[in-house]
Amino acid sequence: MQWLIDSLEMSWDDYSSIFEDYRNAAVYVDRITRRVQVVKVSDIDDFYSNFSVLLQGGYLNKYEPVYIKMAKYVAFPTRRERIALMMVQKHNWRRVSYYIEWKHVASWVVKICESCEKEQKAHMQVLESGLSDEETVRIHTSL
């Protein structure tokens, strides 16, 4: 997978083909250059362990996930704590939140879903900018 590092962002379908034989995989690009900076693969299905393909929240200010494949979960990141809290409280999702000096920096919002690549792709295509917290939650819960 090292050959992917510093390559330009590719399409979801290209990544899906590349990671076809992996249970869990994720690709993160630099938010400015759109070049691949992190590739994670794992056979361990947990979303909350060090072996997860989900990056710790502090990295999500600089890197954007463009592909996530998880065998047992669907996940999407948010930098708005209220969205994560609303998803957990009202819609029974789970979250892993990250804080720096008591300030929320990012959360992963996660739900159990076996082999749900189409749903995962749909969640990744939701752009929070320009949407209210309520509208963002409504879109995610409708997928």
Query: What are the CA-CA distances from residue 68 to residues 49, 74, 106, 138 (Å)?
Result: 16, 8, 17, 21
Averaged pLDDT for residues 106-134: 95
At 35-68, the pLDDT tens digits run 999 999 999 998 888 889 999 999 999 999 999 9
Written as one letter, the residue type at 131 is: L
Distance CA 12, CA 142 (A): 21
Rounded alpha-carbon distances, angstroms, from residue 6 to 10, 35, 106, 110: 12, 5, 24, 28
User: What pLDDT is attached to residue 46?
Assistant: 87
Among the listed ranges 42-46, 68-72, 120-124, 131-135, which one has the minimum average pLDDT value? Answer: 42-46
pLDDT for position 124: 96
pLDDT, tens digit, 9 for 90 and up, residues 71-112: 999 999 999 999 999 999 988 799 999 999 999 999 999 999
pLDDT band at 27; cut points 50, 70, 90: very high
- H/E stretch holding 86: helix 81-91
- The answer to which of 6-15, 41-50, 98-107, 126-135 has the lowest mean pLDDT is 41-50
Tokens read off for 46? 């947990």
Q: How far is CA 45 from CA 5, 20, 117, 118, in A?
A: 23, 16, 15, 18
Q: Measured between alpha carbons, how far is 85 from 41 in angstroms, rounded to an integer?
A: 28
**Cβ(64)–Cβ(37) under 8 Å?**
no
Q: Taking residues 136-143, what's their average pLDDT?
A: 95
